[in-house]
């Protein structure tokens, strides 16, 4: 039986049990059905939430806004620089003020410690919309997308290619471990996840009958893979100077046709987005001019192929964030 998550914050998956994840996935499916059938579900009418963003966002912000409005809540968005937080007011004071006005707080920013501190003082649920270490709301959407595609999670082989110690990769390793999915971080050893987190993931995976593997050989890592997942090579908050080193380190880890062909014939491609798969962005064009790359972590061919489920995955952010808010606020 899933625990009652009412009143809980959602800061990282490590704070939860596998049956909590199962409960959130089932709840997400229910909300997706309600949305698809146009059935009103203003279950949290009268409540209000505030969204604090210290880094930019499309999917996470819009998911929280639409999900909040669908649930009947009032939604306030505060962008970087438009609140006193950090500059003139401490995190603890900001949390106590917002906690008096709002029923829930979303935070996207830099340190994990900061979101944990907000939660400690707010007195209302705090949801982590991405920190440098973790991106837990993304995980419920990713698991839902995989389960919708294959009909199950346990026993699938999941391979993350790229910067395997970034927020998304860290969270995916724990998400896979908690759901019995075999996780492989396919990366140069410099970009393997931290040993301490790998240890924790392995303990969880063992209980679910799955494995956590670190592998630098692309062919070995991707043979028999059911899910190929990647993320941008330089994350928000990292300095621009790092692009050159990252491109050198990660070019062999691009998800391209050869990688997809080496995977299971039914394999799918996933990406949390945004993605540099062409030159149609400001940064994409700058990288092309400086380094001559017209695509980075994934080729346009794979991104646009029928194996790619990236837009279903993006849609699922909204249904799953709705489930997380409902479960913790109801
Ligand atoms: N995947 C994700 O979190 O996207 P945004 O940065 O647009 O929110
Ligand atoms: N690793 C990326 C994820 C964006 C959703 C970043 O932090 O920029």
pLDDT digits (tens, 9 = 90+) for 54-105: 999 999 999 999 999 999 999 999 987 888 888 888 888 998 999 999 999 9
User: In angstroms, what is the span from residue 112 Cα to ligand 2's centroid?
Assistant: 14
Least confident of 1-5, 66-70, 122-126: 1-5
- Is there an atom of ligand 2 within 6 Å of 283 CB? no
Query: Given a cut of 70, is residue 116 above it in pLDDT?
Result: yes
Query: Given a cut of 80, is residue 2 above it in pLDDT?
Result: no
Distances in whole angstroms, Cα of residue 19 to Cα of each of 2, 178, 322: 5, 9, 18
DSSP string, 95-134: HHHHHHH-SEEEEE-S-HHHHHHHHHHHSS-EEE---SS-
Q: Confidence band (pLDDT; 50, 70, 90) for 3?
A: low
Q: Which domains does the chain have, with CATH numbers?
A: 13-135+317-329 (3.40.50.1370), 157-225+227-262+268-306 (3.40.50.1370)
Pocket test for ligand 2, best of 63, 130, 141, 283 (most atoms within 8 A of CB): 130
pLDDT digits (tens, 9 = 90+) for 202-254: 999 999 999 999 999 999 999 999 999 999 999 999 999 999 999 999 999 99
> Mind spelling out the 3-state secondary structure of 21-33?
HHHHHHHHHHHHH
- Is there an atom of ligand 2 within 6 Å of 236 CB? yes
Concerning whether 207 is annotated as a catalytic residue, the answer is no
- Is there an atom of ligand 2 within 6 Å of 230 CB? no
For residue 20, the Cα-to-chain-centroid distance in whole angstroms is 17
Which atom of ligand 1 lies at the shortest distance from residue 108's CA? 8
Per the annotation, does 58 bind a ligand?
yes
- Predicted confidence at residue 83, as pLDDT, reads 85
- Strand residues in 223-288 grouped as ranges (E): 227-230, 268-271
Write down the mean pLDDT value for the chain. 97
End-to-end CA distance of the chain: 18
For the chain, what percent of residues have pLDDT higher than 90? Answer: 95
Active-site residue, from 231, 254, 271, 277? 231
Query: Given a cut of 50, is residue 45 above it in pLDDT?
Result: yes
**Ligand 1 pocket, residues with Cβ under 6 angstroms:** 57-60, 130, 138, 272-274
Beta-bridged to residue 184, according to DSSP, are 159, 213
Concerning whether 113 is annotated as a catalytic residue, the answer is no
Query: Given a cut of 60, is residue 1 above it in pLDDT?
Result: no
Pick from 250, 129, 131: which is nearest to 192 by CA? 250
Active-site residue, from 138, 163, 176, 226? 138
pLDDT digits (tens, 9 = 90+) for 135-182: 999 999 999 999 999 999 999 999 999 999 999 999 999 999 999 999
Active-site residue, from 135, 165, 246, 271? 135
């Amino acid at each position: 039986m899933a625990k009652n998550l009412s009143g809980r914050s959602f800061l990282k998956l490590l704070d939860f049990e596998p049956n909590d994840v199962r409960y959130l996935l089932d709840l997400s499916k229910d909300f997706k059905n309600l949305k698809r059938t146009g059935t009103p579900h203003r279950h949290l009418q009268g409540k209000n939430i505030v969204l604090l963003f210290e880094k930019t966002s499309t999917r996470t912000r819009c998911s929280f806004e639409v999900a909040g409005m669908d649930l009947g809540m009032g939604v306030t968005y505060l962008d970087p620089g438009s609140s006193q937080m950090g500059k003139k007011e401490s995190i603890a004071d900001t949390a106590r003020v917002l906690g008096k006005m709002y029923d829930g707080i979303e935070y996207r920013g830099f340190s994990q410690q900061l979101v944990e501190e907000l939660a400690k003082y707010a007195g209302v649920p705090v949801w982590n919309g991405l920190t440098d270490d973790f991106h837990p709301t993304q995980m419920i959407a990713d698991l839902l997308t995989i389960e919708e595609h294959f009909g199950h999670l346990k026993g699938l082989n999941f391979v993350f290619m790229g910067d395997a110690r970034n927020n998304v990769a860290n969270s995916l390793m724990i998400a896979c471990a908690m759901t019995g999915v075999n996780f492989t971080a396919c990366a140069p050893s410099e970009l393997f996840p931290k040993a301490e987190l790998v240890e924790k993931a392995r303990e969880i995976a063992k209980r679910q009958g799955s494995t956590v593997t670190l592998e630098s050989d692309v062919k070995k890592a991707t043979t028999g893979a059911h899910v190929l997942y990647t993320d941008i090579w330089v994350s928000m908050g990292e300095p621009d100077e790092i692009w050159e080193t990252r491109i050198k380190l990660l070019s062999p880890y691009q998800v391209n046709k050869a990688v997809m062909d080496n995977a299971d014939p039914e394999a799918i491609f996933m990406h949390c987005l945004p993605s540099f798969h062409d030159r149609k962005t400001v940064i994409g064009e700058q990288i092309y001019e400086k380094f001559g790359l017209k695509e980075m972590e994934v080729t346009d061919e794979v991104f646009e192929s029928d194996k790619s489920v990236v837009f279903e995955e993006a849609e699922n952010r909204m249904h799953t964030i709705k489930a997380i808010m409902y479960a913790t606020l109801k």
